[in-house]
Amino acid sequence: MSTPDVVIVGGGIGGLSTAFALSRSGLKVRVLEQAKEFGEVGAGIQLAPNCTRMLDDYGLLEEAKARGVVPDRMVMRDAVDGSDLTSLDLRDLERKYGFPYLVIHRSDLHGLFLDACREAGVELLTEQRVTAYSQEGDKATATTDAGTVHEGAVVIAADGLHSVARKLVVDDQPVSSAYVAYRGTVPIAEVGRPVDLSEVVVYVGPRCHFVHYGLRGGDLLNQVAVFESPKALAGLEDWGTPDEFDTAFAGTCDAVQQGLPHMWRDKWWRMYDRDPITTWVDGRIALLGDAAHPPLQYMAQGAIMAIEDGWVLAEHVKRLRGDGGAVDWAGALAAYEAVRPEHCRRVLLTARAWGELWHLDGVEREQRNVLLRARKVDDCSFTDWIYGPTALFPEDEPTMFQPIPLVSADGLASDLADSLPR
């Protein structure tokens, strides 16, 4: 094997999208995947305009749209009574940001990047479990458990939540949210109830929520059910089990109840993230994707952030590549680290807060519902900071939205009551 310019550890969506982005600059890229074959587990994934903008730049957007669904509306409903709380007109969103909101099966998106990498000549190796990283001078290496050493000018660690490379920059552990996700995809012909596939729907309830939307041109319905595990809160190891699942959703509305029989009950995903960190680069070794910033899922930005990471790094590589083709890797990695950690910190912390908002109960649930119902459909103040163009430099990072305190709903409710005819 010839020596590549870049070695990428991890053949998931983040690793493959980064490999493709760097290969477009003419770099030789090698991707190391620990599994026997490249693949992706899970079900549906949502791609907001900040991601589809990049797919368009890569020339992959039309194929992604063909493999997925471009919905018209996103709607949030109360999981207890089934009532509408707020919505986004996704076609208006596309007009505002210039690119669509797309939902697609994870394996379809992964396959899209895998095909693109193959066509671009990326070297794709399987059964390469990396257990150690090192560097010397202008070279970095990733060494497998079999003793194989892969050397390049740079090593990008896209090795996920339990990243080995992360230990180079911080000694931390994943943070359990005590929440569990059950998933399920079902052919639309077998759903047994009317479902509007032009909508992405989330039902938010006390300590639980339920999501559904169409996939593969509307042939499949994707469903996700998430709940807080009492066993996890009690510190037990066996948490997230089907008995907890049934109890968590017992008080939800008919629309949610009708979807639950189609969930996979033999496999579930425990929800972890990690605290944000500001150091992602150690010399010629850099973290990317979940290795750097594993989020909770509430912002639907996990895979998107990984794709953004690769796009930003590739843009700086292009900017800092000399006439002879040599890359100023120190400059490119410094520019990457200067902008991405702050953006991802905002997303990670907002995802935590958003999850808390979804799962409120009692008076706080009622306050949340008042505020959400009062929101104007065309209000994009909560999306501008994340759905707009991805920043390449810190000064380009947009201003964050200003959260609205729950207690402000009390005055709003009084105003609404006073305005009603008596």
Active site residues: 213
CA atoms within 13 A on the CB side of 355: 25
Q: How far apart are CA 311 and CA 288, in angstroms?
A: 11
Q: How far apart are CA 13 and CA 231, in angstroms?
A: 32
| Residues 244-251: contacts with CB under 8 Å, at least 24 apart | 244/180, 245/180, 245/182, 248/207, 248/208, 249/208, 249/210, 249/225, 251/80, 251/205, 251/206
208 sits in which H/E element: strand 208-215
- DSSP assignments along 61-119, one per residue: HHHHHHHSB--SEEEEEETTT--EEEEEEHHHHHHHHSS--EEEEHHHHHHHHHHHHHH
Q: How far apart are CA 308 and CA 301, in angstroms?
A: 10
List of residues 6+ apart from 136 with CB closer than 8 A: none
265: helix, strand or coil = coil
